[in-house]
Amino acid sequence: MKILVCISNVPDTTSKINFTGDNKEFDKNGVQYVINPWDEYALTRAIELKEAKGGSVTVLNVGEADAEPNIRKALAIGADDAIRVNAHPKDAFFVAQQITAVAKEGGYDMILMGKESIDYNGFQVHNMVGEMMGIPSVTPAFKLDMVDDSTARLEREIEGGKEVVEVKLPFVASAQQPMCEPRIPNMRGIMTARTKPLKVVEATGGEAKSEYVNYSKPEKKSGVKLIEPENAGELIKLLRNEAKVL
């Protein structure tokens, strides 16, 4: 089974988010980058399936060279090889086109990724790839197992419940917890990752359909109003009469 796992290189959750150039660009200064936490679920589940059923796991990133340390980290966790499409990921549509081009060329049985990236929070790419390739996309999935060699069984979250879906290979799925327990690389993994193949390919044309023009930050909270625990009931009155949310 050939599995393609798409990963994004994103600012660590604890990063301070700032913008430069008149709020037109994200300020990378001092920001630590990590594998998108949602993508880690997809990656680990792919490796688990490979260990159980055989096959290979290829990691794909659409991004610039500064993503390579995290691509190597994915290899250290257990992916076999990696592809980086050398391009600035302009928007979801652009990224989906790049993934589709790589996926068509490689003939993968399964294309997995996280349900969204924690930087642009799009929740778009997986369904776009499914549509571009004309194969099912099951998102967001929190369970993924093989029924037999050609059929997978997934459970996906819908508002207020879940759906159980069985699809034939190939398909696209996006992952969310509790699909698996994400792994961290061990020493042996880190050593072998250095020699695993990482291929860099150029973007295949592809257009963006949106344009990020400006960023802003939410207004700062004015500070917490503390109520004494003995008078906790006062809070309910404040919520009704002052905050007007009850």
Partner 1 sequence: MSVLVFVEGLNGEIKKSSLEAASYGSQVAQAMGTTATAVAIGEVHEEALAKLGEQGISKVLYDADDRLKQFVADAYVKVIATAAQQESAKVLVFSNSNIGAAVGSKLAVRLNGSLATNVTELPKIDGGNFTVTRGVFSGKAFADVNLTSDVKIIAVKKNSTDIISNGGSTATVEKLSADLAESDFAAAPKETVMQDTGGGVLLPEAEIVVSGGRGMKGPENWHLIEELAKELGAATACSKPVSDIGWRPHHEHVGQTGITVSPNLYIAAGISGAIQHLAGVNSSKVIVVINKDPEAPFFKAADYGIVGDALEVLPKLIEAAKALDK
Interface with partner 1 in residues 44-103 (CB under 8 A) = 92-93, 96
Residue 241 near partner 1 by CB under 8 A: no
Q: Any idea what the Cα angle at residue 130 is, between residues 128 and 135, rounded to 5°? A: 160
Q: Which two tokens stand for residue 21?
A: 């150039």
Q: How many CA atoms lie within 13 A of 58 on its CB side?
A: 22
Closest CA to 204 of 50, 95, 66: 95
Residue 122 near partner 1 by CB under 8 A: yes
Distance, in Å, from the CA atom of 177 to the CA atom of 180, rounded to the nearest integer, reads: 7
* The only residue of 42, 167, 180, 193 in contact with partner 1, by rule CB under 8 A: 167
Q: What is the largest CA-CA distance in the chain?
A: 67
Using the rule CB under 8 A, give the single segment among 76-84, 103-111, 194-202, 212-220 that binds partner 1: 212-220
Residue 187 near partner 1 by CB under 8 A: no
Does residue 11 contact residue 33 with C-beta atoms inside 8 Å? yes
Count residues contacting partner 1 (CB under 8 A)? 77
Residue 107 near partner 1 by CB under 8 A: no
* The only residue of 137, 152, 180, 193 in contact with partner 1, by rule CB under 8 A: 137
Residue 5 near partner 1 by CB under 8 A: no
Residue 148 near partner 1 by CB under 8 A: no
Residue 205 near partner 1 by CB under 8 A: no
